[in-house]
């Protein structure tokens, strides 16, 4: 069966993305003695994520989940330690040159661009799309349930629709490391499950490594065999999701309301 028309093969065919050599099964991510600072808040991380893994990032609000993703993406500089992808350090590499996509909580749709234009940015920042690019963009919007809404502006959409438009753009970028920060908080249970399944399917097709922040253990169980627990400024090493949730440490029990 041929791949979906909207998929991009840029990093698979060239085998490089922004100068980084990429394998067939995504990226190995290493945080080596990493320390991030955001104002008075500090986060430490020292762990590895295997190639092609799907990893949930869970923990209480304010614990450092978003800071972790921002640090990996280069928006929050490290004050100590480093981030490596496939063994290559990212020291000094700006966010735009890192072979990863980060979907923020705020989604960051441009209000002066239509839904189709916002999604098209995932293919070309200058929006000079070929007919093939447009077909891939439209197929992506259809995948997230926004078929026929491409001419609308973000202000014309519900919160859930805006989150799905941002997801379409993120998936169209087809980077080997995909990071999602609570991408489905505005969705109801049925649509949330559909979008989780979509992310899982596209991640597998692209061979990407996934980090997804969520407050819902059911989300982790559905698509993430591994979970990183983040609490009080520390990102713990990933462990098997089912093992972690079956016998959670005290801090996770408090977070889950089991004590």
3-state secondary structure of 193: helix
Ordered by where they begin, the domains of the chain are: 10-256 (3.40.50.300)
Measure CA of the first residue to CA of the last residue in the chain; give whole Å: 50
Pairwise CA distance, residues 165 & 60, whole Å: 27
Q: Is beta strand 234-235 parallel, antiparallel or unpaired with respect to 226-231? A: antiparallel
d(CA 59, CA 202) in angstroms, rounded, equals 25
Token pair listed for 123:
């293919």
Q: Is 145 exposed, middle or buried (0-12, 13-18, 19+ CB in 10 A)?
A: middle
**251: which residues sit within 8 A by CB, 6+ positions away?**
229, 231, 232
Quote the mean pLDDT of the chain: 88
Q: Is the pLDDT assigned to residue 252 strictly greater than 80?
A: yes
Return the structure tokens found at 114: 């239509």
Please answer whether residues 236 and 228 qualify as being in contact, where contact means their C-beta atoms are separated by less than 8 angstroms: yes
Model confidence at 183, pLDDT cuts 50, 70, 90, reads confident
The span from the CA of 17 to the CA of 216, in Å, is: 32
Residue 94 clears pLDDT 70, i.e. is over it: yes
Predicted confidence at residue 21, as pLDDT, reads 45
Amino acid 8: pLDDT: 37
Q: Do 58 and 228 meet the contact criterion of CB atoms below 8 Å apart?
A: yes
Tell me the mean pLDDT in the region 214-238: 95
Distance CA 138, CA 165 (A): 11
What is the 3 state secondary structure string of 69-121?
A: HHHHHCCCCEEEEEEEECCEECCCCCHHHCCEEEECCCCCCCCCCCHHHHHHC
Distance CA 59, CA 78 (A): 21
Q: What is the mean pLDDT of residues 171-182?
A: 92
DSSP per-residue codes, 2-69:
PPPTT---HHHHHSEETTEE-BTTB--EEEEEEEEEETTEEEEEEEEE-TT-EEEEE--TTSSHHHHH
Q: How far apart are CA 120 and CA 62, in angstroms?
A: 33
The reported pLDDT for the residue numbered 25 is: 57
* Per-residue pLDDT, 20: 46
Using the structure block, give the residue that is written with the tokens 């093939």: 132
Look up tokens 């977070």; give the residue.
255
- Over residues 70-89, the pLDDT tens digits come to 999 999 989 999 999 999 99
CA separation for the pair 140, 63 (Å, rounded): 33
Whole-prediction pTM: 0.87
pLDDT value, residue 259: 60
């Amino acid at each position: 069966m041929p791949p979906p028309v909207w998929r991009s093969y840029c990093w698979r065919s060239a085998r490089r993305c922004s100068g980084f050599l990429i394998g067939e099964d995504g990226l190995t991510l290493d945080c080596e003695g990493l320390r991030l600072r955001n104002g008075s808040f500090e986060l430490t991380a020292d762990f590895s994520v295997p190639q092609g893994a799907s990893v949930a990032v869970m923990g209480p609000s304010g614990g450092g989940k978003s800071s972790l993703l921002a640090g990996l993406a280069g928006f929050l500089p490290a004050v100590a330690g480093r981030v490596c992808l496939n063994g290559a350090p990212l020291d000094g590499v700006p966010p735009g040159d890192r072979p990863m996509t980060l979907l923020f909580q705020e989604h960051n749709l441009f209000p002066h661009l239509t839904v189709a234009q916002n999604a098209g940015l995932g293919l070309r920042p200058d929006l000079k799309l070929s007919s093939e690019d447009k077909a891939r963009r439209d197929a992506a919007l259809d995948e997230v349930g926004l078929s026929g809404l491409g001419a609308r502006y973000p202000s014309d959409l519900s919160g859930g629709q805006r989150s799905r438009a941002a997801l379409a753009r993120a998936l169209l970028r087809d980077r080997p490391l995909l990071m999602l920060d609570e991408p489905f908080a505005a969705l109801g249970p049925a649509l949330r499950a559909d979008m989780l399944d979509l992310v899982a399917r596209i991640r597998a097709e692209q061979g990407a490594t996934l980090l997804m922040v969520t407050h819902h253990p059911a989300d982790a169980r559905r698509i993430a065999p591994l979970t990183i627990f983040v609490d009080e400024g520390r990102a713990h090493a990933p462990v098997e999701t089912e093992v972690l949730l079956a016998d959670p440490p005290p801090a996770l029990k408090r977070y889950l309301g089991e004590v």
